[in-house]
């Protein structure tokens, strides 16, 4: 039986704003946003591009992380996205699905300090 993953993601919209959500199919969800069929917020802010994502085993974990990420300041969200992008660049051209924050590395209980160093890892999917 294939394992089903749940993703918490952040996209950067054409106007520079950031949108956070969760999904079970990351590629399809990004495509849906870009087709104008996704969240109402992103419909008028296309195109969007993936800026950050984490992978979880359960829907509840992904939804909880989405809730916490939406409470972060813009500066904190940009720091997460910057760390993710730096890791992708450092490791070469990995596909987005190969370069995810794993559940054990995700912060779920508290707001992070913008100056906190976080290790960004990947989970094989």
Superfamily of structural domain 6-104: GIY-YIG endonuclease (3.40.1440.10)
Residue 59: CB partners within 8 Å, gap ≥ 6? 6, 22, 24
Instruction: Write down the mean pLDDT value for the chain.
Output: 81
Give which of 14, 12, 13, 11 is closest to 22, Cα–Cα.
11
Q: What is the pLDDT of residue 3?
A: 59
The answer to whether residue 58 scores a pLDDT higher than 60 is yes
Q: How far apart are CA 47 and CA 27, in angstroms?
A: 14
CB atoms within 10 A of CB 5: 19
29: three-class secondary structure by DSSP: helix
Domain ranges across the chain: 6-104
Model confidence pLDDT, tens digit, residues 71-107 = 999 999 999 999 999 998 888 754 545 455 554 454 4
């Amino acid at each position: 039986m294939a394992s089903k993953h749940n993703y918490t993601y952040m996209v950067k919209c054409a106007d520079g704003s950031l949108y956070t959500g969760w999904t079970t199919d990351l590629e399809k969800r990004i495509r849906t946003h870009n087709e104008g069929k996704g969240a109402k917020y992103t419909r008028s802010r296309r195109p969007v591009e993936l800026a950050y994502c984490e992978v979880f085993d359960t829907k509840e974990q992904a939804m909880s992380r989405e809730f916490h990420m939406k409470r972060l300041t813009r500066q904190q969200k940009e720091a997460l996205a910057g760390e993710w992008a730096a890791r992708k660049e450092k490791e070469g051209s990995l596909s987005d699905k190969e370069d995810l924050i794993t559940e054990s590395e995700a912060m779920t209980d508290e707001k992070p300090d913008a100056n906190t160093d976080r290790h960004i890892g990947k989970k094989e999917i």
